[in-house]
């Protein structure tokens, strides 16, 4: 696969989500039970497809955000467990549909559900999980949390369509790209974080703080994901390096390299992204150009920018173990580029 | 396309939904405005795809059920308009995803959205409409209506997966088939009818009556749809005669003809449904066998059975124009076979 970038510049040593995992461990046990139970059905194909993806070793970062954010404001009850499970189901449904839309073969290092059970099952089981997510939210009974999460569901789909419409368009500006990832990725991080203070009955200011933390964390997370697609190895990534390139996705490293490139380089990008001349040799060349123009380093710099906004969003909140854990998550997300 | 059955046996003369349309006309004007507004987005592809299907001349039977059922119990407000629009969006989202799952080329006599904008857009715009449906429900603020409609969303998807898993399986029993259509079709009719009395604050008995009416009407509706696939013309149907046959769908006419057939006939069905030997000559033969065994007449008889249960479900309710209109709908659904 050729050139592998040294991305050490993005790493803060030892950043982990250990503190978050420890704080939410007991609650996550209940989330995991609820996931299994609510993905169940007498129709065998449903738990088979759902569990294939659910058990594939995702970090379950989003539900942990909901749990920690609810704990942070002293929430007592089991509503946060149900909302966290809803958030994870919304995410899983999106992944099932994404893999159909992107025609992906691999996800987290395993065959995608659509490769095993077909596109049809992936579409329909995604719909089922989305329905189950809404049922759990309704069960919690907070209209405010329902509003936030149902709005996120619309915005995520809108972001995916924006991405589809912008596919292969190298003239996409950085701002337009931020609008896409804000909708398709950051909206769910934001909703996941905000519903914590919402069910805990926290103040408007506290809700706004967690919402701002979530959206900026989500932006940072997605930018690092996009950087990883041109570095790292398939094993770490759980996807193949160059997947985005081969699918003609216009992510930030490409946007920067294209805008900074010579006329000749832009011609190469046109062929690669718009006309799918994206074999391994082209990928090597793309990685070389991205390196030459510092496009990975600057993608990471943009991610850091959003990470700092996320950190400051939590600034006024009292020092709690949850606050410390949520700040560590920012460093962890950015240090995934290693 | 060969043999066309005379299906006059299923017709009650002059059955129309004129009364329902007249009673709900003003409210449907508001539903149609809300549909256009909530299918809107700055992302152009979303209204394009959504409106293609929305403007394709569906009868909008389901939202009219919600409106009439709310009127019936004296509802005052605009919640029924929002819930009716949600119901239509849930239906539209299902159609968009169904056409992807079934690889359909035509819907209501027009090219399907997936043939024009691709499977990807159909999946994602369906997701968007589902998100918008939930936002409108949340806006109405009735947790009971939310519970009913979100449960329906899960059950519909579950029914679609059941259908997928049972695809091409000629050993499907009539009961198993009823379970599939109850989930994939009747659940939404049931929810559409039940949320009317729910937002009107009607009694438990009244809610149960409308729920029972809806589920049985939905069963009758789907059975007649399945009968139409082996009769009628593409123009009336908005789909091609024989679509179900070519897709290897095991519907009630096929189940009955298979169970009543000779060993040789069952061999023909195996080849046609399981091995996709389903060209025009095979379709002619299938229609002949279905006719020979009275499978259309008996599919209509089953539909009438459910129609009678729907009628009796409304029995104890006071005579109102809405009640008369809902009863006419039963006759109309069954008389579509003409």
Q: Is residue A270 part of a domain?
A: yes
Q: How many domains does chain B have?
A: 1
pLDDT over threshold 80, residue B6: no
Residues A261-295: pLDDT tens digits?
999 999 999 999 999 898 999 999 999 999 999 99
DSSP state of A11: P
Of B336 and B267, the one with more pLDDT: B267
Quick one: what percent of chain B has pLDDT higher than 90? 77
pLDDT over threshold 60, residue A316: yes
Q: Which pLDDT value is given to residue B102? A: 83
Mean pLDDT, rounded, of chain A: 91
The mean pLDDT of A90-95, rounded to a whole number, is 96
Among the partner residues B44, B125, B164, nearest to A121 by beta-carbon distance: B164
Q: Where are the alpha helices (DSSP H) in B73-142?
A: 79-102, 113-140
Q: Is residue A1 part of a domain?
A: no
* B153/A121 CB distance under 8 A: no
Beta carbons within 8 Å of B104's beta carbon, 6+ residues apart: B98, B112, B114, B239, B243
The mean pLDDT of B31-59, rounded to a whole number, is 90
* pLDDT bracket for residue B89 (50, 70, 90): very high
Chain A residues touching B41 at Cβ < 8 A: 158, 161
The mean pLDDT of A145-172, rounded to a whole number, is 95
Q: Which pLDDT value is given to residue A39? A: 95
pLDDT over threshold 70, residue A12: no
Chain B residues touching A95 at Cβ < 8 A: none
State how far the alpha carbon of A184 is from the alpha carbons of A154, B12, B38, B110, in Å: 10, 51, 19, 31
| b/e per residue A17-28 (b: at least 16 CB within 10 A) | bebbbebbeebb
CATH, residue B311: 1.10.600.10
Q: Which pLDDT value is given to residue A10? A: 39
pLDDT over threshold 70, residue B3: no
Among the partner residues B124, B128, B162, nearest to A43 by beta-carbon distance: B162
Q: Which pLDDT value is given to residue B308? A: 97
* pLDDT bracket for residue B14 (50, 70, 90): low
**CB A267, CB A300: distance < 8 Å:** no
* B124/A155 CB distance under 8 A: no
The mean pLDDT of B79-98, rounded to a whole number, is 96
Residues A21-55: pLDDT tens digits?
999 999 999 999 999 999 999 999 999 988 888 88
Q: Is residue B66 part of a domain?
A: yes
Report the C-alpha gap between A54 and A38 in whole angstroms: 12
Q: Is residue A310 part of a domain?
A: yes
**CB A86, CB A188: distance < 8 Å:** no
Q: Which pLDDT value is given to residue A231? A: 80
* A45/B151 CB distance under 8 A: no
| b/e per residue B251-277 (b: at least 16 CB within 10 A) | bbbbbbbbebbeeebeebbeebbeeee
Structural domain boundaries, residue B93: 8-335
pLDDT over threshold 70, residue B9: no
H/E run at residue B275: none
Of the candidates B73, B66, B76, which has an alpha carbon nearest to the alpha carbon of residue B318? B73
Q: Is residue A157 part of a domain?
A: yes
Q: Is residue B26 part of a domain?
A: yes
What DSSP string runs through B208-273? Answer: HHHHHHHHHHHHHHHHHHHHHTTSS-HHHHSS-TTHHHHTT---HHHHHHHHHS-HHHHHHHIIII
The mean pLDDT of B219-235, rounded to a whole number, is 82
Q: Is residue B28 part of a domain?
A: yes
pLDDT over threshold 50, residue A239: yes
Report the C-alpha gap between B300 and A279 in whole angstroms: 57
Report the C-alpha gap between B57 and B32 in whole angstroms: 12
Q: Which pLDDT value is given to residue B239? A: 58
Q: What is the complex's ipTM, to 2 decimals?
A: 0.89
CA dihedral B182, B186, B192, B195 (to 10 degrees): -30
A247-251, B5-9, B198-202: which has the minimum mean pLDDT? B5-9
H/E run at residue A261: none
Chain B residues touching A137 at Cβ < 8 A: 150
Chain A residues touching B143 at Cβ < 8 A: 138, 141, 143
Report the C-alpha gap between A278 and A117 in whole angstroms: 28
pTM for the model: 0.91
Q: Is residue A2 part of a domain?
A: no
Mean pLDDT, rounded, of chain B: 91
Q: Which pLDDT value is given to residue B4? A: 37
pLDDT over threshold 90, residue B160: yes
Look at the alpha carbons of A298, A300, A302, A304 in this order and tell me if their dihedral is positive or negative.
Answer: negative
Q: Which pLDDT value is given to residue B42? A: 92
Report the C-alpha gap between B187 and B152 in whole angstroms: 6
Chain A residues touching B134 at Cβ < 8 A: 134, 146, 150, 153-154
- The reply to whether A18 touches chain B by the CB within 8 Å rule is no
């Amino acid at each position: 696969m050729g050139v592998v970038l040294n991305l050490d510049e993005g790493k803060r040593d030892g950043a982990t989500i250990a503190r978050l995992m420890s704080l939410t461990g007991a609650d996550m046990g209940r989330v995991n039970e609820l996931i299994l139970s609510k993905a169940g059905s007498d129709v065998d194909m449903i738990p088979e497809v759902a569990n294939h993806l659910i058990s594939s070793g995702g970090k379950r970062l989003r539900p942990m955000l909901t749990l920690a954010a609810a704990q942070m404001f002293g929430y007592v009850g089991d509503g946060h467990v149900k909302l966290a499970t809803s958030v994870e189901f919304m995410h899983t449904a999106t992944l099932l549909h994404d893999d159909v839309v992107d025609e992906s073969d691999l996800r987290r290092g395993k065959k995608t559900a659509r490769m095993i059970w077909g596109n049809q099952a992936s579409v329909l089981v995604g719909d089922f999980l989305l329905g189950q997510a809404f049922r759990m939210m309704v069960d919690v009974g907070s209209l405010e949390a329902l509003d936030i999460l149902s709005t996120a569901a619309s915005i995520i789909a809108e972001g995916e369509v924006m991405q589809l419409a912008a596919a292969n368009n190298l003239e996409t500006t950085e701002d337009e790209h931020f609008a896409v990832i804000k909708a398709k990725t950051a909206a769910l991080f934001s909703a996941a974080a905000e519903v914590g203070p919402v069910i805990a009955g926290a103040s408007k200011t506290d809700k706004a703080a967690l919402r701002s933390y979530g959206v900026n964390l989500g932006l940072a997370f997605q930018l690092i994901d996009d950087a990883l697609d041109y570095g790292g190895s398939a094993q770490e990534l759980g996807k193949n390096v160059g997947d985005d390139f081969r699918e003609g996705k216009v992510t930030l490293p490409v946007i920067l390299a294209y805008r900074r490139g010579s006329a000749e380089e832009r011609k190469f990008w046109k062929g690669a992204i718009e006309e799918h001349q994206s074999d391994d040799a082209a990928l090597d060349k793309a990685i070389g150009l991205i390196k030459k123009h510092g496009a990975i380093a600057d993608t990471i710099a943009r991610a850091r920018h959003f990470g700092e906004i996320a950190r400051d969003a939590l600034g006024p909140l009292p020092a709690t173990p949850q606050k410390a854990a949520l700040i560590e998550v920012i460093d962890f997300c950015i240090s995934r580029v290693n």
